Structure 1
Amino acid sequence: MDHGSHPVTGSAGLDLAALIVRLVLLPATAFVAGIGLLRPQVDTLPRRLRQVTVVLGGLSAVLAVVSAVAFDVNVVGAVVHALLVLAVPVLTTRRPPVGRWVATALLVLLVLETALGRSGVEFAIDTVYVAATAAWFGLASLALARAETPRLGPLSWTLGGVLALAGAVQLVLSGVAFDRRLYETGFGIALLAAFVLPIVAAVLWRRVAVVGVAAAFVAWSAFVALPAPAELPVPGVPLLADAGGTPVLVSPQRPGRNLVHLATAGSVAVGDGPAVQAVARPGASGFWAEVDLPAGRSSLVVSGRTIEVDTGSASGVATASGPDGPECATTALGGLVAGRKDVLTACPADALSEADADALRKLVGFLAARGTGSITVVGDSSARGTEAARVVRDAAAVSRVAVRPDGAALVVVSGWAQAASALDGAAAAQRERPAYPYGLYVAPWLLTGPLVNTVASSTVPLRFDPREQAAVSYAVALDNAFPGEAATVTGFRQWLGPEQPEPPRVQLFAAAQVNAMPMAPGQPHAPGMDVPGEGAGFFVPQGTVVPISFPLG
């Protein structure tokens, strides 16, 4: 019985009130179903046990109706639950064989309600745990009521072993069995109780059987409803965390200076330290704060929410902060979105890849073939920017293209911060005079919305088509994990993984801002019509990237 969604518990469906109702409703239903299942095994049901079954059946029916009214659960399911749980106590007295079949139907419904939409192996484990619990409820209750029940000892040990085995399998599948989340989170404690309590109940049997099994089933019901705890931070692996529904990226998660990336404006504090306001960074999307993290475990407070971090003791990567830090962090984000937890050992600005160097050489060759007599090259002091500028100058010398401050084309091979300044300057110059008549060209790693959207049009040499399925899938996955985050070429490469070789071809693509079918100010678009460039799957938001050349030789 799904009880909706609420931030109090953070689960896929429950608020605090619904969780309390669930933890009463499900054990009460299991008890009634267990009595109905085992009633034909005895000649007479003791009066006190019969009264308890009637009371719990009525309580379960009332809570099922309350769930339908207060928590917007499936009304048909709630009505069926109420009818079945009321029918079992009546039929166990008058027609026990029929009552067993009704109790079986109630047990099937209870499995579905307990599982809350789980599937596969976990659903099978839920089925085993719920069925064994109901059977043990019936067995223990009949025994305590001194009804004649056969083979109490072997049955109790068998049921206890089944519950413990199901709990052990779920412990392993949950991923919390061998780390501190087992005893530091409600999820882990509930799961541990669901594993241990059946063993205790089996050993002590008559004295605590019903109480132990009831507590175990309450723990199991709570575990299924509670959200799985976040994965523990791994030193050196950039951390993608959740701060109350807002994604947070911490990079490189090493002792010393770290970048904290937020999708929206906010503040960041280390423990009880002063808050640092996150600000926009040139060429990057979202907001960024630089903080100093101590070695080992500590915490970040992001806009009032606490996030655990663990930096370990090893030194980090110098370029993971500073002007090239945002590119490094968003590159790592691509791997995190793909599900990989790679330790950050280098940043894109640390070296120029041969693939990018080859693309720049072919770009210069294209410019020379067009008759471009001169170019202006913009690099920076990073290892990649310095080497890229040298590659472009050497290629220009071979092609007899002059490199000078007032060139006919602008070629930007720096990092994001310097590129943002260069493109802003180029846009301003083009508004005042016919500057750069042969166009604006950027290195492959500079294809990202916050950069190329600062100018009307720019050209980039690429080895992939940003409109192809893989690139679109990356952009969609990135937006799902970190809403509003701009796609990047280095992030896309990291998302693909190292086992994906880059295609040998290099082709020129034009990135341009687009506004097809412009509307009057304030006029809404037609229903179902997105603004061009908006929505998931666009590598450059509010723009388009299209090929403008054949593969370059």
Structure 2
Amino acid sequence: MDHGSHPVTGSAGLDLAALVVRLVLLPATAFVAGVGLLRPLVDTLPRRLWQVTAVLGGLSAALAVVSAVAFDVNVVGAIVHAVLVLAVPVLSARRPPVGRWIAVALLVLLVLETALGRSGVEFAIDTVYVGGTAVWFGLSALSLARAEPPRTGPLSWTLGGVLTLAAAVQLVLSGVAFDRRLYETLFGVALLAAFVLPVVASALWRRVAIVGVAAAFLAWSAFVAVPKPADLPVPGVPLLADAGGSPVLVSPHRPGRNLVHLAEPASVSVGDGPLVEAVARPGASGFWAEVELPAGRSELEVDGRTVEVDAGDGAGPAGASGPDGPECATTALGGLVAGRKDVLTSCPADALSEEDADALRKLVGFLAARKADSVTVVGDSSPRGTAAAQVVQAAAAAHHLTVRPDAAALVVVSGWTKAATTLDGAAAAQRERPAYPYGLYVAPWLLTGPLVNSVAGSMVPLRFDPREQAAISYAVALDNAFPGENPTVTGFQQWLGPGQPAAPRVQVFATAQVNAMPMNPDQPHAPGMDVPGEGPGFFIPRGTVVAISLPLD
């Protein structure tokens, strides 16, 4: 029975009442199952041991019913548990062979209840630990009940060694074996106790060994129920953390100025420092706050919720804050969503890649083929923006296009901040007059919802189709990790990981806001009808991206 699962997130959550019930129910059940398993080894079951077994069976059955009522545990499972745990003491006294088989069934159910939600190697470890503990319970109980107990020392040491080995494997798999979470968190302490106590119990005098066995199983039951602690922050690796159920992204996670990215507006502070309000940034999703992190470990407060940070003592890239900081942070977020912990050493705006330069040259060739005679180029002062503007201007000269303000086409190759202002101005100009008759064009790194949705339509040269499966998978994974976050091209590239060859083709894609069934702005959609473009899997929310050219030469 899972007494530690959060009904919304599905992740383990520490409910104190549920944990207490679990720590009584599971050991009581293990004791009853162990006695039932080993009962045929003795001629008669001592009255006192039978009474203890019956009381624990009744307690376990009662708690199973309570779990079904109070903690949303599966009712059928709770009923089966109650029936089996009540049947074992009765049958162990009257028909020991039948009682043993019922105890086996109860033990199988106990393994499933203890290991609910775990699979593979961890499920096998749970099976070994639970089964070994139940046998040890039965062995110790029957040994205590006999006037001349058998020699159980070698078997006790064997069982203790098996449980210790299982706990050692679990320690390594958990990832907390070699860092401070082992002694700073309840998860780590419980797992450490489950590792040490079987050896202690093996060495104890037989009349108190059962106490050590019970303590070891209590520790194991607690470890399985409590939440696994978050990974420790790594200096220089942007930190994706959870603050009371809301995601928090800290970048570059180095001493000095850092960006804190949130899905909702909040107040942010470092320790007892001043509060900084997270606000929207041009071209970026969500809300952002700039804070100063000290070297080493410190705590970030987000509306009273604490996030542990460790900035180390190295320097991060200069572009990780300032106007290009949000793009840098969301690029790193793509790698974090994919499960990689890469140190942030550079930002996309630090340089223009050859792939993007090639795409911009081919974009100018596409404009020339459409008979445009002039272009307006908007870059910025970043290394990438400056280089991109020069590439477009050189390509325009090669195709005999004039570069001037208020031209036939607008080509934006700046970062997000200036692009947001430029596209807002272009949208306003198009509402007033027939401005840019050959359209609005943006660099590949500007394909993100907040930017392209600010205009009625735009065009972008890409080496991938935003509707392909990989792009959809990235958009879904991003929304799962950081709800409401808009996909980005650089984030997608980081999500794919290093070593991915760039596609040789470049195609021009058009973006547009789409509503398949036009309605008044305040008119609600019919029940069950999604707004077009909304939900996970869309690279551009409330919009579409379609290819409008063949691969360009």
Question: d(CA) in 2 for partners of 1:216 and 1:393?
Answer: 72
One-letter identity of the residue aligned with 1:298: S
Tell me by how many angstroms 1:245 deviates. 1.1
Question: d(CA) in 2 for partners of 1:163 and 1:205?
Answer: 19
TM-score (norm 1): 0.97
Question: d(CA) in 2 for partners of 1:277 and 1:261?
Answer: 11
Tell me by how many angstroms 1:158 deviates. 0.8
Aligned residue number for residue 63 of structure 1: 63
One-letter identity of the residue aligned with 1:482: F
User: Could you say what secondary structure the match of 1:208 adopts?
Assistant: helix
Aligned residue number for residue 15 of structure 1: 15
Question: d(CA) in 1 for partners of 2:28 and 2:540?
Answer: 55
Aligned residue number for residue 451 of structure 2: 451
Range 364-373 or range 374-383, more displaced: 364-373
Question: d(CA) in 2 for partners of 1:93 and 1:475?
Answer: 61
One-letter identity of the residue aligned with 2:360: L
One-letter identity of the residue aligned with 1:385: G
Offset from partner CA, 1:358-385 (integer Å, 9 cap, x none): 1111111111222211111111000000
Tell me by how many angstroms 1:207 deviates. 4.3
User: Could you say what secondary structure the match of 1:322 adopts?
Assistant: coil
Q: Is the 8 A contact 1:8 1:15 kept in 2?
A: no
Tell me by how many angstroms 1:144 deviates. 2.5
Q: Is the 8 A contact 1:28 1:60 kept in 2?
A: yes
Tell me by how many angstroms 1:319 deviates. 0.2
One-letter identity of the residue aligned with 1:241: A
> Does residue 154 in structure 1 map to residue 193 in structure 2?
no
Aligned residue number for residue 509 of structure 1: 509
Change (3 A) 1:468 1:9: closer
Q: How does 1:81-92 map to 2 (within 5 A)?
A: 81-92=81-92
Aligned residue number for residue 183 of structure 1: 183
Aligned residue number for residue 356 of structure 2: 356
One-letter identity of the residue aligned with 1:537: G
> Does residue 117 in structure 1 map to residue 83 in structure 2?
no
Aligned residue number for residue 94 of structure 1: 94
Aligned residue number for residue 487 of structure 1: 487
Q: Is the 8 A contact 1:299 1:307 kept in 2?
A: yes
One-letter identity of the residue aligned with 1:203: A
One-letter identity of the residue aligned with 2:372: T
Tell me by how many angstroms 1:204 deviates. 1.5
Aligned residue number for residue 300 of structure 2: 300
Tell me by how many angstroms 1:231 deviates. 0.8
One-letter identity of the residue aligned with 1:93: A
Aligned residue number for residue 419 of structure 1: 419
Unaligned runs of 5+ in 2: none
TM-score (norm 2): 0.97
Range 40-49 or range 330-339, more displaced: 40-49
One-letter identity of the residue aligned with 1:466: P
Question: d(CA) in 2 for partners of 1:14 and 1:109?
Answer: 23
One-letter identity of the residue aligned with 1:365: G
Question: d(CA) in 2 for partners of 1:487 and 1:45?
Answer: 67
Tell me by how many angstroms 1:14 deviates. 5.9
User: Could you say what secondary structure the match of 1:227 adopts?
Assistant: coil
> Does residue 231 in structure 1 map to residue 228 in structure 2?
no
Offset from partner CA, 1:189-221 (integer Å, 9 cap, x none): 110001100000001142431111111111101
Tell me by how many angstroms 1:117 deviates. 2.4
Offset from partner CA, 1:72-116 (integer Å, 9 cap, x none): 211111111111111111122222222111111111111111111
Question: d(CA) in 2 for partners of 1:51 and 1:29?
Answer: 15
Q: Is the 8 A contact 2:240 2:336 kept in 1?
A: yes
Offset from partner CA, 1:488-528 (integer Å, 9 cap, x none): 00001111112211111111111111111123454443444
Tell me by how many angstroms 1:475 deviates. 0.7
Tell me by how many angstroms 1:403 deviates. 0.9
Aligned residue number for residue 549 of structure 1: 549
Change (3 A) 1:529 1:147: farther
Tell me by how many angstroms 1:7 deviates. 8.6
One-letter identity of the residue aligned with 1:405: P
Aligned residue number for residue 334 of structure 2: 334
Question: d(CA) in 2 for partners of 1:26 and 1:9?
Answer: 24
Tell me by how many angstroms 1:149 deviates. 4.2
User: Could you say what secondary structure the match of 1:519 adopts?
Assistant: coil
Aligned residue number for residue 381 of structure 1: 381
Question: d(CA) in 2 for partners of 1:6 and 1:208?
Answer: 37
Q: Is the 8 A contact 1:238 1:249 kept in 2?
A: yes
Question: d(CA) in 1 for partners of 2:481 and 2:347?
Answer: 21
User: Could you say what secondary structure the match of 2:323 adopts?
Assistant: helix
Q: How does 1:158-169 map to 2 (within 5 A)?
A: 158-169=158-169
Aligned residue number for residue 531 of structure 1: 531
Change (3 A) 1:5 1:128: closer
Range 141-150 or range 386-395, more displaced: 141-150
Aligned residue number for residue 286 of structure 1: 286
Question: d(CA) in 2 for partners of 1:256 and 1:290?
Answer: 10
Unaligned runs of 5+ in 1: none
Aligned-residue RMSD, C-alpha: 1.6
User: Could you say what secondary structure the match of 1:472 adopts?
Assistant: helix
Q: Is the 8 A contact 1:440 1:458 kept in 2?
A: yes
Q: Is the 8 A contact 1:116 1:225 kept in 2?
A: no
Percent identity, aligned pairs only, is 83
> Does residue 241 in structure 1 map to residue 241 in structure 2?
yes
One-letter identity of the residue aligned with 2:108: V
Q: Is the 8 A contact 2:14 2:227 kept in 1?
A: no
Question: d(CA) in 2 for partners of 1:498 and 1:81?
Answer: 51
Question: d(CA) in 2 for partners of 1:468 and 1:398?
Answer: 34
Question: d(CA) in 1 for partners of 2:524 and 2:436?
Answer: 37
Question: d(CA) in 1 for partners of 2:105 and 2:337?
Answer: 42
Range 445-454 or range 219-228, more displaced: 219-228
Change (3 A) 1:207 1:295: farther
Question: d(CA) in 2 for partners of 1:349 and 1:501?
Answer: 21
Change (3 A) 1:531 1:364: same
